Amino acid sequence: MIYTSMNNNDNLIISVGRQLGSGGRTIAKMLADEFGCKFYDREVLNLAAKESGFSEEFFEKNDERKGFLDQIFHMHVPFISDSSFYDNGLSQENLFRLQSDAIRKAAAESPCVFVGRCADYVLREHRNMVTVFVTADIDERITNVCHRRNCSPDEARKLIESREDTRSSYYNYYTGKRWGDSSSYDLCVNSSLLGLEGTKNFIADFVRRVQASTKSK
């Protein structure tokens, strides 16, 4: 089932894009708690797998990544016949469509905070959505990645560059916009300036002001 129209277009939706190591995911979770929203990061992949009947593994390996299926086209997969991935609807675009359907379904059912996955584009016709991009100073991001991954600063920098090249290619391809560009979002914020809690409060205040302004029109 394709959810092209919202059952409830008034549910609050917050879409959070983020740079690796910026704390964007943590801030998004804090926003979900603040507004009583369901939180979707990798949870979108599980939802898409359940809705489509495909293995969650394929959504995970394709997660915010362009070109994954081209690399594994000749792999044997248990639930797919040996003829072709594409005979079973498992193309890159179909995986994106299935994931998009899962995002629309979740947004129609309840207020949500989505992390990445082009949710800002998928839900672009949703009336009550605020789109945010979280960045941070590169040195702080490297430090955060080092702590989380237990790696060296050089390794952290390379990981950041690689992951962000992948994310930007994926986002730019499917949305026609530029990942991380201020014109692609309602608000861009540097979490290094206010810290995680302060950034969450800043974004929450912005969301409330947007909602108040929208209701007064």
Q: To which H or E segment does residue 18 belong? A: strand 13-18
The per-residue pLDDT for 150 is 94
Alpha carbon distance 156, 140 (integer Å)? 11
Q: What is the pLDDT along the chain (217 residues), one digit of tens a residue?
A: 334 344 467 899 999 999 999 999 999 999 999 999 999 988 877 777 777 776 667 666 666 565 544 443 333 333 333 334 434 445 677 788 888 998 999 999 999 999 998 999 999 999 899 999 999 999 999 999 999 999 999 999 999 999 999 899 989 999 999 999 999 999 999 999 999 999 999 999 999 999 888 776 6
Q: Say which CATH class 13-216 falls into.
A: alpha beta
Closest CA to 64 of 144, 212, 142, 165: 165
The per-residue pLDDT for 48 is 77
Closest CA to 199 of 145, 133, 110: 133
Q: Where are the alpha helices (DSSP H) in the chain?
A: 24-35, 43-52, 56-61, 68-71, 92-109, 119-122, 138-149, 153-175, 191-216
The per-residue pLDDT for 81 is 34
Burial class (CB in 10 A: 0-12, 13-18, 19+), 2: exposed
The answer to whether the Cα torsion of 23, 169, 180, 97 is positive or negative is: negative
The per-residue pLDDT for 9 is 74
Alpha carbon distance 41, 185 (integer Å)? 18
The per-residue pLDDT for 59 is 67
Listed by start position, the domains of the chain span 13-216
